[in-house]
């Protein structure tokens, strides 16, 4: 279930709305790994993240470009998720992965600093579950160099999301607790 919901999010929101101009090629080439972490503790999640980064490190990009680590059982509160990202950075530093891999963050309650929870721009980083998106730095750098105006991507995404009417937002982001009910059971 988790993989199908994240797959739908990638296809309808990320690709369908063009929120990431770099995602289509690896997605359609089958080079994106979707994996569910069954971790029940932050240490177990760090272990799972370590395995995923090591797998990317040992695999050619033509075979596996990136990983979306889906976290259905932990980090439900956005504040907890944000704090975990610091641990993920330490993990990368410890293994010498800093500068080679980066982690993009997505969460059902993602909220940019200075925004209100219901602001459409937060949807750019809202996903059905907390996710850790492991990216290769070399690929990100190359994609940014090849894009005609990478600095324009965030404002283009915000404009795209603001242009959607409420009904369309609910249709695409129907897992977001701000838009409607969360997929998570109550605590």
Domain coordinates of the chain in residue numbers? Answer: 2-172
Region of 75 (left: φ > 0; alpha: ψ -120 to 50; beta: rest) is left
Please check the confidence at residue 185 and state whether its pLDDT lies above 50: no
Q: Decide: 36 and 2 in contact? Cβ < 8 Å.
A: yes
Question: What's the pLDDT tens digit per position in 124-180?
Answer: 999 999 999 999 999 998 988 988 888 999 999 999 999 999 999 999 998 755 544
Please state whether beta strands 66-70 and 131-136 pair in parallel, antiparallel, or not at all (unpaired): antiparallel
Please check the confidence at residue 46 and state whether its pLDDT lies above 80: yes
pTM: predicted TM-score of the whole model, two decimal places: 0.91
Q: How many CA atoms lie within 13 A of 8 on its CB side?
A: 11
Question: What's the pLDDT tens digit per position in 98-113?
Answer: 999 999 999 999 999 9
Please check the confidence at residue 114 and state whether its pLDDT lies above 50: yes
Confidence of residue 183 (pLDDT cuts 50, 70, 90): very low
Q: What is the pLDDT of residue 150?
A: 87
Contacts of residue 154, defined as CB under 8 A and 6 or more positions apart, other chains included, come to: 124
Question: What's the pLDDT tens digit per position in 10-39?
Answer: 999 999 999 998 999 999 999 999 999 999
């Amino acid at each position: 279930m988790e993989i199908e919901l994240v797959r739908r999010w990638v296809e309808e929101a990320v690709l369908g709305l063009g929120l990431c101009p770099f995602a289509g090629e690896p997605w359609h080439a089958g080079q994106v790994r979707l994996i569910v972490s069954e971790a029940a503790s932050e240490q177990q999640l760090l272990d799972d993240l370590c395995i995923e980064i090591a797998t990317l490190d040992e695999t050619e990009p033509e075979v596996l470009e990136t990983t979306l680590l889906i976290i259905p059982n932990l980090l439900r509160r956005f504040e907890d998720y944000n704090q975990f990202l610091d641990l993920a950075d330490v993990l990368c530093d410890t293994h010498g992965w800093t500068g080679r891999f980066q982690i993009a963050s997505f969460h059902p309650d993602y909220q940019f600093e200075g925004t209100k929870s219901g602001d459409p721009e937060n949807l750019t980083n809202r996903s059905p579950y907390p996710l850790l998106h492991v990216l290769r730095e070399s690929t990100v750098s190359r994609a940014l160099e090849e894009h005609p105006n990478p600095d324009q991507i965030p404002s283009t995404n915000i404009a795209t999301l603001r242009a959607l009417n409420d009904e369309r937002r609910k249709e695409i982001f129907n897992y977001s607790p701000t838009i409607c009910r969360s997929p998570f059971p109550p605590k």
